[in-house]
């Protein structure tokens, strides 16, 4: 009879532990999904600003049509990307070509003086900063979740639930974003 209570106690403690690990993983997963939705809001704003900026600078940048086309193509791929991994890859590409466009715009004094272009550039820069902060929060949340599902003994519980808990990809900085902009202060 005592052995039965001991075994029953062990089973109850084990069940409560599994429930606790499961609930913790669900909470972390929801936090990562929320972090991604915050990025998604800013990416949508970026997608909305890009056509306006491209249309505003088109007339001034006759010699840079290839860059403008690359920006619009990258935007189209980013808008149509499905799933977190594909969206991250498409957004990294868009960030790279958008950075090149912004650097090119700096070479056109007439464009910098245009209030519409200036306002769009300011909004886009603000959105890029918000994406950066949201990306940092997402990466922190995803890393915490990914670590939690891989450590022992949580990985055993994860195995019981099949594909319900899969690692999230990180939204990392691309090589194009790492390049330091060249600033020319000569007059």
Q: Give the pLDDT of the chain (187 residues) as one tens digit per residue.
A: 889 889 999 999 999 999 999 999 999 999 999 999 999 898 888 888 888 888 777 776 666 778 888 888 888 898 888 888 888 889 888 888 888 887 877 777 777 677 777 788 888 888 888 888 898 999 999 999 999 999 998 888 888 887 888 889 888 876 555 444 443 434 3
What does the pLDDT read at residue 183?
A: 38
Question: Measured at the alpha carbon of residue 95, what is the angle toward residues 92 and 96, in degrees to the nearest 5?
Answer: 90
Domain ranges of the chain: 23-161
Q: CA-to-CA distance for 108 and 91, rounded, in angstroms? A: 26
What the block records as the tokens of 112 is 């910098």
What does the pLDDT read at residue 99?
A: 83
Q: CA-to-CA distance for 85 and 99, rounded, in angstroms? A: 21
What does the pLDDT read at residue 26?
A: 93
What does the pLDDT read at residue 185?
A: 35
CATH 1.20.1440.20 fits 23-161, yes or no: yes
What does the pLDDT read at residue 63?
A: 64
What does the pLDDT read at residue 47?
A: 86
What does the pLDDT read at residue 101?
A: 81
What does the pLDDT read at residue 143?
A: 94
Q: What is the pTM of this model?
A: 0.72
Do residues 9 and 108 make contact, with C-beta atoms less than 8 angstroms apart? Answer: no
What does the pLDDT read at residue 9?
A: 92
CB < 8 Å & 24+ apart, contacts of 5-14: none
Three-state SS at 83:
coil
Do residues 46 and 135 make contact, with C-beta atoms less than 8 angstroms apart? Answer: no
What does the pLDDT read at residue 175?
A: 57
């Amino acid at each position: 009879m005592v052995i039965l209570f001991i075994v029953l106690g062990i089973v109850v403690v084990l069940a409560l532990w599994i429930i606790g690990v499961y609930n913790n993983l669900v909470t972390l997963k929801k936090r990562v999904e929320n972090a991604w939705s915050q990025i998604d809001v800013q990416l949508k704003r970026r997608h909305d600003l890009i056509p306006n900026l491209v249309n505003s600078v088109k007339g001034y940048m006759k010699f840079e049509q290839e860059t403008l086309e690359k920006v619009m193509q990258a935007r189209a791929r980013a808008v149509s990307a499905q799933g977190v991994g594909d969206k991250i890859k498409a957004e990294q590409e868009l960030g790279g070509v958008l950075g090149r466009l912004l650097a090119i715009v700096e070479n056109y004094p007439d464009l910098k003086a245009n209030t519409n272009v200036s306002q769009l550039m300011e909004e886009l820069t603000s959105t890029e900063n918000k994406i950066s902060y949201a990306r940092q929060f997402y990466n922190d949340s995803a890393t915490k979740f990914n670590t939690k599902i891989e450590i022992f003994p949580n990985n055993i519980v994860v195995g019981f639930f099949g594909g319900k808990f899969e690692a999230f990809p990180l939204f990392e900085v691309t090589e194009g974003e790492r390049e330091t902009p060249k600033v020319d202060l000569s007059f």
